[in-house]
A and B are shown apart, each in its own frame.
Chain A
Amino acid sequence: MMIDMQRWPTAKDERWVSGGVAGLDALIDGFRLGDNVVWQVDTLETYRHFAHAFFRQAVRDQRTFIYIRFGAHAPILASQPGMVIESFDPRDGFDVFSAQVNRIITHWGARAFYVFDNLSGLVDWWATDELLASFFRATCPYLFELDTVAYFALERDHHSDEAVRIIRDTTQVLIDSIVLDEALHVRPLKVWQRHSPQMFLPHRVEAEDWIPVMLEAMPETALVHETTAPWVTVYNDLAVGVRDGTLDRASAGRLRRKLTRMLLGTDEKILHLADRFLSLDALLHIRRRVVGTGRIGGKAAGMILARAIVRQQCDDVASAFPLLDEDAFHVGSDVFYAFLVHNDLFRARLSVTRTGVVSHEDYAELERRFLAGTFDAARIDAFAELLDALGDAPYIVRSSSLLEDGFGNAFAGKYRSEFCVNAGTREERVEAFMRAVKLVYASTLNPDALSYRRNRGMLDSDEQMAILVQRVAGQPHGRYFLPSLAGVAFSRNLYAWTDRIDPRAGMIRLVFGLGTRAVNRVSRDYPRMIAVSHPELRPEIGEEVAAYSQRHVDVLDLDAATFATVRLREILKQGPFPELHRYVSIMQEGYLTEPVGRRVQPAADVVLTFNRLLKETDFVRVIGRMLAALEEIYEHPVDTEFTAALTADGAVEVNVLQCRPMWLPGAQARVEVPTDIAPDAICFRTNRFINGGVADPIRYILYVDPRAYARIEDEQYRRTLPRVVGQINQDMRSRGERLLMMGPGRWGSSNPELGIGVGYADIDQVSVLVELAHEEDGHVPEVSYGTHFFQDLVEAEIIYLPVYPSDPDTAFNDAFFHSATNVLPSLYPTLRPYAEVVTLIDVPAERGGCQVQLVADPETRQAVCYMA
């Protein structure tokens, strides 16, 4: 039957929109404002034809018309008057691309008309149908809300039925088309809120005539096809090719590279390492352990590579690194976006990342919304299978975003990791797993992460959040589950507090139990700091060793099904802990001794020192070899996390959990010591320091002039100075200000001749502590390197710098410190008597709004403190 042209609508309501083709308008009764129109085509020529007609009509109707250009194919529309072309590069990733499109839609506002390039092309860049579907699902509802009409093209036979189903469910209009016998056939598959008896019949297009036909070749289920997305095809081709031996070398190499990029991202250095250290089997093994599609993220990639590197590079200690390929699973990064769009969180997230600011209250609300989100049934089944494969062991759900642990930036510790005890019914365990995943997803929006990204101009970066699901290494011990040993190890020791220590040999922060205690800096509880070059040296002695030891242990409490921090004594109450004699010393009558043999008396007052571990096992050598190998291969200092255990015969087994490029505290990228600072803006330069880092801008300098200090005759006055410093420190705490403190000799010395005898509580608001060593009578005093409260400085990441003003390699701005206005008497009138010795400088007031900046780079052994 031919379409009755007499029924061509003449006076439609204002929401009626013509597609510019009479036959089409008649067939589906035109479009409506708000329609998203997806053309499924076998050739882009068909799409061009309809898009062009749509554009001409839009010009006639004086519509705002935007062509969204991103495809690798020839343009769908040639540039011409009445058309705005907005171009994007999908290679920037789903996140960036979707955000840019969203922004353009916002910009052009209501009732704009759009033609998008071929959506199928996105799969070439993004590798998966899942992301394509997520993009559509994120964009389409917004266009609908704004009463726009938008054209999209999808190539027939390119996508999984699931992806097309999602698109079909989301769009208002879906029209299938095919060229048969040189004739174009069109059949609407979905037309929202309109119906006519012939609407869903195929029509042959003959000029103005649209003739309904019955076509065998256009079956009802024409849209169900195997996907051509590389995520599936590359893997299939490789797996089958390898199995059957049918792949030639060049194809295998090409496919392997594609697979590597799909799994590990586009960071050239990571890809290079993967080529060198991961076998094809290893890659396929990873791919088989991914739930959903997409990448496994930076943290997972770093871990897998590091494990492969140490096993291959550390031949002499290889047995210390057991094969652990079965302990980890991944949730692909696409799942994150699918979750966002499925739960209407994508735009909420966009609006937050756009400003880069979220209050803690808003974040709490966002987290609630994430927790209320759901996964579809198929995904939940996949999660359940993942948990089945994990077994009963406790596991950790770790964030592994694309930005994390990359070479350009170590996005460390901003996102969440969740321990799961993995107990209960299967349903409860799946529920707990999903809750953990959602919490990690929500943490992409936490205020810390956002402000970090904002400060580093990373708000627009593609932040695909994959998840690393990993068994927790360790063993049950009574009601608790914990690893014997865990910690972090750095290939460079930033805390070489004596010249004997070789900073290039690295440093270990070791704890008993879960490594969270070593990663997070907890005040008043201390990991064992081990200089790899001199494991036995420690800046404490006698009873200080016990004071600066770990007293609390992070564990999983199996009974309470939760992560917990408990006292060491509580762990030992559960029964004899394996190899405990190597981890503890015994406090007896006020001094420490090592246990004799293997026995540790249950009633003994034990202190975690790890002394016998360090003396009697290969532990330090193994970690040292690991650090050296990783630094050599990464061609950059590295920062690692590990767990370790001892076998009954004392052999060490190390499980590498994380490896990333190491940056200085306070920095998340290579630190450049500025060289172009005006001489009068420099406070000092020095080439001796122990812990490098970058300090956040500082407002106040507290300067105790060494000469004035030496001239003090009243001993009482001198002995009061620590309390003066403490009082200022305390007030700065209430003001929320950090300080730079500079003073003569050894801070914390009990001998006032040698320095100001402060305790740590008197200086805990300091971010940089400077020990001024003035030469007197040809004798330069030895500096203390902060050993009076060294471990406190380390835990608080306070930078400690000795400065020798008389050293020719040191610059010291004497003039500034002596001419600057001393605000001590005005801020603290009661401290006026101390103003002749203690100078408090309000730097912004002194120097036109400047603040003190400090960069200390241990690599070049250069530190500069300046005002900017």
Chain B
Amino acid sequence: MSENLNPFKVAQTQFDEAAERLGLEPAMRTLLRWPRREYSFTIPVKMDDGSSQVFHGYRVQYNDARGPTKGGLRWHPEETIDTVRALAAWMTWKTAVVDIPLGGGKGGVTCDPKKLSEGEKERLARGWVRAVARELGEHRDVPAPDVYTTPQIMAWMMDEFETIVGRSHPAVITGKPLPLGGSQGRNDATARGGVYTVREACAALDIDPGGAYAIQGFGNAGQFAALLHRQVLGGGKLVAVSDTSGGIYQPDGFDPEEIIDYKKKNGKVAGFPGTQPISNEELLELEVNVLYPSALENVITAENAGRIKARISCELANGPTTPEADEILFKNGVHVIPDFLANAGGVTVSYFEQVQGTYNYYWPLEQIHTSLDAHMTRAYQEVRQLQQEMNVHPRLAAYLVSVTRVAEAVKLRGWV
């Protein structure tokens, strides 16, 4: 793998830039450039046909200065330790930017779950927990679902952990099924968190919340954003959406619910009656108040950044904007709400689940929404404030907020 594409190298480079701006001392830089602990282990699993297969498992606890590490588990055939490290670093910054008392972690298994039966998946999940049980727990490290892992897998893992420790321990893992202590409000948490930040951005920048918005990518996050934008902002005109089949455009706006229904029926948004076709590229360049890039990485590049006319770009997808494009957008006054802030609603509700588990209590949906709103609003405002203070682009501002918070915790602990 070439160095410039190694995700952990990319994460380190991003950190280095923030560290430089903040003038962190060398020891602090070294500590935050690397994971604190990494576990790499093998998991033998009895397969259905009686044979045994050995899988490689990982857990990276990147930094726990602010609290127990928190992060998802990925079961993917292309999983590597460097991907897990990078994602664990990003989790550290993400929990810090929304200021929840957690550190960052990530884990995974190199496997293709599509080739495993339910029984084999269950044995693999339990095997993973047995390998790292001593390092887990609501006060150490709290895993959650990620690529190809499901609430069912979280349930098996929680059960295995509780069997090992011999007592109830629902907060050891989040993303559990609702009947086992899963939290309400998880389904739309990512989009909802992003829309809350958009509401704040509109207020801060004096942008009409009733104006046009467009959504690139119409999966889970994109669909919820389409609906929630109008609910949360109290208005707004959805003028364009797109998915892999192409996009649709209607300057007078259309009803998000009708498009979601159409997409469910037809598997795509293209062809929705009364709209004109539009390419993904054209959609990005529409003159709208808010653009939600919700699909792929690197869609806004140095090549097209100059043509982006949106006032706000709320990054529900991971990494939609390249570093060069960030600079161009900033120069052109396009206000970017960076991915690890915009989509931090997911981890925030995960945190709520952990809290509910710890207290063996559950929150009603309204309480989830209210608390999420409070966290996201404050996080946005703090990033915005720093951005104005230092006159940097918002992504860097968000990094600066996060790294400062983690460094502060490290300092207070007297590690460095």
Q: Which residues of A approach B to under 8 Å, CB–CB?
A: 498, 500, 523-524, 534, 536-543, 547, 551, 588-593, 615, 715-716, 719, 723, 749, 751, 753-754, 757, 759-762, 782, 787
Contact = CB atoms under 8 A, between A and B. Distances in A.
A590 B220 contact: yes
A763 to B, nearest CB: 11
A452 B302 CA distance: 54
A782 B77 contact: yes
Nearest to A730: B246
B5 A759 contact: no
B387 interface: no
Nearest to B184: A589
A762 B117 CA distance: 31
Contacts of A500: 115
Given A536-B119, A542-B148, A716-B303, 18 more contacts: A498-B115, A523-B267, A534-B48, A542-B150, A551-B264, A551-B265, A589-B151, A591-B177, A592-B150, A593-B151, A593-B152, A716-B298, A719-B297, A749-B78, A757-B296, A759-B244, A761-B244, A761-B245
Interface in B93-142: 112-119
A537 B112 CA distance: 11
Nearest to B77: A782
A715 B322 CA distance: 10
Nearest to A719: B298
A591 B151 contact: yes
A787 B118 CA distance: 18
B5 A762 contact: no
Contacts of A538: 114
A782 B117 CA distance: 20
B266 interface: yes
Nearest to A545: B150
The CB with the most chain B CB atoms within 10 A, among A539, A589, A751, A787, is that of A589
A615 B116 CA distance: 15
A536 B296 CA distance: 31
Contacts of B177: 588, 591, 593
A592 B152 CA distance: 8
Secondary structure call for the B interface: loop
Contact of B298 (A523, A534, A592, A715): A715
A534 B280 CA distance: 40
Given A498-B114, A524-B267, A536-B117, A589 B187 contact: yes
Interface of B: 1, 4-5, 48, 77-78, 112-119, 148, 150-152, 177-178, 182, 186-187, 220, 244-246, 264-268, 280, 296-298, 301-303, 322
Contacts of B246: 761
A541 B148 contact: yes
Contact of A753 (B1, B77, B113): B1
Nearest to B267: A524
Contacts of A551: 264-265
A615 B48 CA distance: 13
B37 to A, nearest CB: 26
Contact of A761 (B112, B268, B297): B268
Contacts of A716: 298, 301-303, 322
Contacts of B245: 759, 761
A536 to B, nearest CB: 4
Contacts of A588: 177-178
A543 B152 CA distance: 13
A543 B117 CA distance: 17
Contacts of A761: 244-246, 268
A537 B117 contact: yes
Nearest to B113: A541
A328 B118 CA distance: 41
B242 to A, nearest CB: 12
A715 B4 contact: yes
B322 A537 contact: no
A509 to B, nearest CB: 18
A590 B349 CA distance: 15
A539 B77 CA distance: 13
B152 A591 contact: yes
17 contacts: A537-B114, A537-B116, A540-B114, A543-B220, A547-B267, A551-B264, A588-B177, A588-B178, A589-B186, A590-B187, A591-B152, A592-B150, A716-B322, A753-B5, A761-B246, A761-B268, A762-B244
The CB with the most chain B CB atoms within 10 A, among A539, A754, A761, A787, is that of A761
A537 B115 contact: yes
A588 B151 CA distance: 10
Given A524-B267, A593-B177, A759-B244, A751 B78 contact: yes
Contacts, number: 76
A803 B322 CA distance: 34
A539 B114 contact: yes
Contact of A536 (B1, B118, B303): B118
A591 to B, nearest CB: 5
Contacts of B78: 749, 751, 754
The CB with the most chain B CB atoms within 10 A, among A498, A591, A593, A782, is that of A591
Nearest 5 A-B pairs (CB), nearest first? A759-B244, A524-B267, A536-B117, A761-B245, A591-B151
Contacts of A787: 114
A590 B115 contact: no
A267 B86 CA distance: 67
Contacts of A542: 148, 150
Nearest to A752: B5
A370 B342 CA distance: 66
A461 to B, nearest CB: 41
Contacts of A593: 151-152, 177
A717 to B, nearest CB: 10
Contact of B117 (A534, A539, A541, A723): A534
Contacts of B268: 761
B281 to A, nearest CB: 8
Nearest to A764: B245
Nearest to B118: A536
Contacts of B118: 536, 615
A592 B268 CA distance: 22
A648 B186 CA distance: 38
A453 to B, nearest CB: 35
A541 B114 contact: yes
A719 B295 CA distance: 13
Contacts of A753: 1, 5
Contacts of A719: 296-298
B293 to A, nearest CB: 14
Contacts of B48: 534
A534 B117 CA distance: 8
B79 to A, nearest CB: 11
Contacts of B178: 588-589
A732 to B, nearest CB: 16
B77 to A, nearest CB: 7
B285 to A, nearest CB: 15
A757 B297 CA distance: 11
A615 B117 CA distance: 11
A668 to B, nearest CB: 31
Contacts of A541: 113-114, 148, 150
A780 to B, nearest CB: 14
A662 B119 CA distance: 33
B122 to A, nearest CB: 11
A551 B265 CA distance: 8
A543 B322 CA distance: 29
A543 B266 CA distance: 16
A73 B299 CA distance: 84
A327 to B, nearest CB: 35
A547 to B, nearest CB: 8
Nearest to A534: B117
A592 to B, nearest CB: 8
Nearest to B266: A524
A770 B57 CA distance: 32
B240 to A, nearest CB: 17
A544 to B, nearest CB: 9
Contacts of B322: 716
A140 B116 CA distance: 69
Nearest to B175: A591
